[in-house]
Amino acid sequence: MEKYIINGAKKLSGEIKVSGAKNLALKILPAAILSEQDCLINNLPEIEDVQRMVEAMTDLGAKIEQKEKNQYLISTKDINKTVLKPELVKKLRASIMLTGPMLARFGEVTLAHPGGCVIGQRPIDLFLEGFQKLGAQMIENGQTYTLKATKLKGAKIILPKISVTVTENLMMAATLAQGTTIIKNAAMEPEIPALAQYLNQNGAKITGAGTPIINIEGVEKLNASEFNLIPDRIEAGTFIMLGLITNSQITIKNCQPEHLENLLYSLNKAGAKLEIGNNYIKTFPSPLKGTNIITHEYPGFPTDLQAPFTVLMTQAQGLSLIHETIFEGRLFYTDMLNQMGANIIMCDPHRVVVMGPTPLYGRNLVSPDLRAGMALILAALAAKGTTSIENIYQINRGYENIVPRLQALGADIKQI
C-alpha cells in the first residue's frame, strides 16, 4: 500500500503554482460530448479524477489524446455506447456529469447509482427529477437508471436544494433542448460561469450563469473549440493555509483571489498576514486567533476548504466553531487530528469546536477522502516528528504531483 511519509515542523519557502480547476475539468470533458467537433482543453490537471473521467468517456467510444502535459484533444464523434461503465461510476461520482450531455446528444443514457461516499449520502434524486422535467422518460432497474428522450424540451426547473453538479448537468442538457429552460435556485460556484462561457463560445445561449437564475435557450447544434481552465480555487486556498500553518513565507501563483473572498475574510479575521496580488497570494508568519466559520454554497465559505481551515485552527489561540452545513460526513477526520494532539470536540455531525493552540505530533494516518486527506498533509507538515498517510489515491484524485510540488517548497515529504 503506497503511503506518504512526512517529517514536520519545518518552515517552507518559495512559490507554488496552482493547477487548473478539478471541478471544472470534470464538467468540460463531458461538455465535449455535446458537439461532434473536436475540443482542445488547456490547463487540464493531471490527476486521478481526470484520468477516471477520460476512461469513462473512452469506454463510450470517445477518443481523448494528450497533446502535451495538461493539454488534451477530445473527439466524441465516434461515441457508440450509452451505458456508463458501473465500476467507473462507482469510482468517480462526477461521472454523473456525462448523463446530461449524453441524453442531449444521443437521446439515451444508462447509469448505475454512484453511491455515497465518506462525506455524505450523495443522492441523485435532483438529477433524475431535472431530466424528467426536461422531458426524459426514466426506466429504473434496481440501482440502474435509463433515461430516454428523442428530443429534450425546455422547462422551468426549481431546485429545492442548491446543487453544483445538478445545476451544471441540467444547464448542459438544456443547451440542445427544444425551447427555453430556466433553472431557479441554481448554484453559483465560479466553475459554473466558466462552463457557460465554454458552451456559449460554441453556440449555446446561456445567460445568468453565476446567479441563482440561469436561462438557457436551446439550439440545434453546438460547435467545439479550445478552452483554458480557470485555476483551482480549492487548491489555492489550501496552499494559503499550508503557508500559514507552517509559519512560512510562500507565494501561491496563478490563482484568482476574487474566487477566495470568503476564505480571505475568515483568514483576515483570524489575524493572517497575507499579500494579495491580482493573480498571486503571499503568506507571512502570523500569530492566529480562533475564528468561527460556517460552510455555505458559493459565495459562502467553501465546504471543500473546511478541513484545511479546521487544521489551521488547531494552531490558533482560543476557540473556533466549525459548522459544516452541506455534507453530513465531512468532520469525522477530526478524530485523527485529536490522535495527533489536537483538542477538538464534535458537537454533532455538522459542528466541531476546536480549542487551540495545541502541539501536533506525527502519527500513522489513513486519508478518508480527498479534502481531509490533503488537510492531514497540512497537519503532518506542522507536527513534530514523522507522519505516515495511507490511501493516498484519495489525495492524488485532486492534487497534481503534490509530492514534488511540496518538496520544492522545502517540505520533507516522500511517497513510498
Q: In whole angstroms, give the CA distance from residue 186 to residue 246.
A: 38
Shortest reach from residue 72's CB to ligand EPZ, in Å:
18
Indicate the residue among 175 and 394 with the shorter CB distance to ligand EPZ.
Answer: 394
Task: Name the one range near ligand EPZ by CB under 6 A: 157-165, 278-286, 342-350, 355-363.
Answer: 157-165
Q: What is the DSSP string of 33-100?
A: GG-SS-EEEES----HHHHHHHHHHHHHT-EEEEEETTEEEEE-TT----B--HHHHHH-GGGGGGHH
Q: If we measure between CA atoms, which residue out of 46, 53, 81, 98 comes closest to residue 67?
A: 46
Task: Name the one range near ligand EPZ by CB under 6 A: 64-72, 159-167, 244-252, 401-409.
Answer: 159-167
- Contact between 315 and ligand EPZ (CB under 6 A)? no
In this structure, what DSSP letter does residue 385 have?
S
Cβ atoms within 10 Å of 143's Cβ, excluding its own: 11
- Contact between 309 and ligand EPZ (CB under 6 A)? no
Instruction: Considering only residues 379 through 398, tell me which ones interact with ligand EPZ, judged by CB under 6 A.
Output: 398
- Contact between 370 and ligand EPZ (CB under 6 A)? yes
E strand map for 142-255: 144-148, 156-158, 180-184, 205-207, 213-217, 226-228, 249-253
Shortest reach from residue 26's CB to ligand EPZ, in Å:
5
Indicate the residue among 304 and 400 with the shorter CB distance to ligand EPZ.
Answer: 304
In this structure, what DSSP letter does residue 301 have?
B
Q: If we measure between CA atoms, which residue out of 177, 119, 115 comes closest to residue 151?
A: 177
Shortest reach from residue 366's CB to ligand EPZ, in Å:
17
- Contact between 151 and ligand EPZ (CB under 6 A)? no
Indicate the residue among 224 and 326 with the shorter CB distance to ligand EPZ.
Answer: 326
Q: In whole angstroms, give the CA distance from residue 251 to residue 378.
A: 16
- Contact between 25 and ligand EPZ (CB under 6 A)? no
- Contact between 360 and ligand EPZ (CB under 6 A)? no
Express the helix, strand and coil content of the chain in percent, nearest 5 each. Answer: 35, 30, 35
Pick the catalytic residue: 39, 117, 255, 347?
Answer: 117
What are the distances in angstroms from CA 254 to CA 21, 28, 40, 232?
11, 20, 21, 9
Shortest reach from residue 383's CB to ligand EPZ, in Å:
23
- Contact between 335 and ligand EPZ (CB under 6 A)? no
Instruction: Considering only residues 32 through 71, tell me which ones interact with ligand EPZ, judged by CB under 6 A.
Output: none
Q: How many residues bind ligand EPZ (CB under 6 A)?
A: 24
Indicate the residue among 3 and 371 with the shorter CB distance to ligand EPZ.
Answer: 371
The answer to whether residue 347 is catalytic is: no
Task: Candidates 67, 151, 161, 184: give the one binding ligand EPZ (CB under 6 A).
Answer: 161
Q: Are strands 156-158 and 180-184 parallel, antiparallel or unpaired?
A: parallel
**Rg over CA atoms, the chain:** 21
Cβ atoms within 10 Å of 389's Cβ, excluding its own: 26
Cβ neighbours of residue 400 closer than 8 Å, sequence gap 6 or more:
19, 45, 46, 47
Q: In whole angstroms, give the CA distance from residue 172 to residue 174.
A: 5
User: Mask of contacts with ligand EPZ, 218-247, x by CB under 6 A?
Assistant: ------------------------------
Instruction: Considering only residues 119 through 148, tell me which ones interact with ligand EPZ, judged by CB under 6 A.
Output: 120-127
Cβ atoms within 10 Å of 395's Cβ, excluding its own: 24
Shortest reach from residue 190's CB to ligand EPZ, in Å:
11
Shortest reach from residue 395's CB to ligand EPZ, in Å:
11
Q: In whole angstroms, give the CA distance from residue 315 to residue 296.
A: 24
Task: Candidates 79, 94, 264, 307: give the one binding ligand EPZ (CB under 6 A).
Answer: 94
Burial zone of 129 (CB within 10 Å; 0-12 exposed, 13-18 middle, 19+ buried): middle
- Contact between 303 and ligand EPZ (CB under 6 A)? yes
- Contact between 399 and ligand EPZ (CB under 6 A)? no
Angle at 258 between CA 369 and CA 158, to 5 degrees: 70
User: Mask of contacts with ligand EPZ, 270-299, x by CB under 6 A?
Assistant: ------------------------------
Rule CB under 6 A: which residues touch ligand EPZ?
Answer: 22-23, 26, 94, 120-127, 161, 163-166, 303-304, 326-327, 370-371, 398
Catalytic center residues? 117
